[in-house]
Structure 1
Amino acid sequence: MGRLVPAVTRAFDILELFLDGDGTLSAPEVTRRLGLPRTTVHELLTTLSARSYLAPVPERPGRYRLGVRTYQLGSRYAERLDLAAEGQRVAREVAETCDETVHVAILEDTDVIYIAKVDSTHAVRMVSAAGRRLPAHCTAVGKMLLAALPPAELDARLADRELTAMTPDSLTDPSALRAELSAIRERGIASEHRESNPDVSCVAAPVRDSAGRVVAALSVSVPMIRWSEEREAELAELAAKGAGELSARLGHRGAR
């Protein structure tokens, strides 16, 4: 492995400073925050500006903001992102940590479609499969995605819809579902207990894109023989961490 080039490292350190605050910085602020010599900072800012990675702020003399080249690079990276592929990678990492089944799903109308799945090494009968569609209200990922919808859109999707049951524990009362979705918004984690599979419970967390929109959900599914309140809390934290990692790969800048 080759050595890091100090000048390049410093240039990236400067660029990453612009991810915080109002997105503008002056040379003295960069000098103070990075502890670099003023001459070095001036040279780096001049070079980055000349290459359009930074640009002067016309209405605020002496300050810089990110330039068009950073946007072009970010856009090219975003074009190559594949939610299903990234979801599969993160699901595998989460599954290796807990040895339980991990899913990533998206919402389509009032159903979820599973776009990634990694099975536990334990033999578990699951109703889910990559590419399969299930009623959103019967799954943790689905309830997480429904809870993220704007109220008007949620109303439109649920209007005149019969909530069919997959198991005796499935939610079929619209009022009860809305109450649960409200609770999910408060805590940021969804769960379901034997609602899509009589032998399995799940927890799920939201996956966000670069604009902060919930575009998917990641869940961990556990057979009832290994389920407990303590295990649920552990897996909720793990699902949130995995969803945060997938969100970060999609360009979301919130906390992982």
Structure 2
Amino acid sequence: MGRLVPAVTRALDILELFLDGDGTLSAPDIVRKLQLPRTTVHELVTTLAARSYIAPVPGQPGRYRLGVRPYQLGSRYAEQLDLAAEGQQVARSVAETCDETVHVAILEGTDVIYIAKVDSTHAVRMVSAAGRRLPAHCTSVGKMLLAALPEQELTARIPDDAELTAMTPNSITDPAVLREALAEIRRRGIAVENRESNPDVSCVAAPVRDRTGQVVAALSISVPMIRWSEERRAELEQLAAKGAVELSERLGHRSAV
């Protein structure tokens, strides 16, 4: 591997400073934060501004903000992202940590479609496949995705008089009860499925966001009841949330600090 170029490293360090605070900086700010010589900072700032990586802030002499070029590069990066491929990689990492089945799913109408799946190595595991479609209200990923919908859109998809299919005796079939469950999911940021799509399996799920902050998918961990407990559930909730954050970051989302 070749050596790092100091000037390029310093220029990138400057650009990354704009990710914090109000997104504007002066040359003295940069000098103080990076402990670089004033002359070096002046030269780097002049170069970055000339290439549209940063731009002067109107009405604030001497202050800069990100220019149009980082946006253009970010947009091109976003165009090349493949949710299914990125989801498969993150699901594999999560599955290696917990040795349970991990899914990534998206919402289509009132159903979820699994777009990525990694199995556990246990003999007893969930039988499923990428591409499978299930009623959203019966799954942790589906409830997570429904909870992220604006109220008007949720009502359009699942009216108050909707007839919800039951996949198991534990499935939610009353829209009012479903709305109560979704409200709790919004509060906690985690969805739990208690044998609602499979009588022998429980799941937890967390939201996956794109670079705009919109929930575009959900990541779940599914566990046979023989390995399920409240302690295990708490562990898996944290792991699912961590995996969802990682996938969100791969899609360009920047988590709040």
Q: Same fold (TM over 0.5)?
A: yes
1:65 has 2:45 as partner = no
The answer to whether the 8 Å contact 1:244/1:255 transfers is no
1:196 aligned counterpart, secondary structure: coil
Equivalent residue pairs, number: 256
Partner deviation per Cα, 1:170-208 (whole Å, 9 max, x = no partner) = 111212111111000000000001110111000000000
Distance 1:133 1:127 in 2: 13
Contact 2:100 2:125 survives alignment (8 Å): no
Residue 34 of structure 1: how far off its partner (Å): 1.1
2:52 alignment partner AA: S
Which aligned pairs between 1:84-163 and structure 2 lie closer than 5 A?
Answer: 84-124=84-124, 126=126, 128-159=128-159, 160-163=161-164
1:127–1:196 contact (8 Å) kept in structure 2: no
What is residue 186 of structure 2 aligned with on the other side? 185
Task: Report the TM-score when normalising by structure 2.
Answer: 0.97
RMSD (CA atoms): 1.2
Amino acid of the residue matched to residue 71 of structure 2? Y
Distance 1:17 1:87 in 2: 29
Q: Give the match for residue 166 of structure 2.
A: 165
SS at match of 1:175: helix
Kept in 1, the 8 Å contact 2:119–2:125? The answer is no
How far apart, CA to CA, are the structure 2 residues paired with 1:202 and 1:109?
Answer: 21
> How far apart are 1:168 and its partner, in Å?
1.0
Instruction: Return structure 1 stretches of 4+ with deviation > 6 angstroms.
Output: none
Shift of the alpha carbon at 1:128? 3.1
Output the TM-score relative to the length of structure 1: 0.97
Q: CA deviation at 1:253?
A: 0.6
Distance in 1 of aligned mates of 2:6 and 2:162: 61
Percentage of matched positions with identical amino acids? 82
> Corresponding residue for 1:33?
33
Cα distance between partner residues in 2 of 1:58 and 1:152 = 39
Structure 1, gaps ≥5 residues long: none
SS at match of 1:240: helix
Bigger mean CA deviation after superposition, 117-126 or 227-236: 117-126
CA contact (8 A) 1:127 1:197 kept: no
Amino acid at match of 2:254: R
> What's the counterpart of residue 208 of structure 1?
209
Distance 2:88 2:256 in 1: 21
3-state SS, counterpart of residue 107 of structure 2: strand
Whole-angstrom CA distance in 1 between matches of 2:148 and 2:118? 24
1:255: how far off? Answer: 4.7
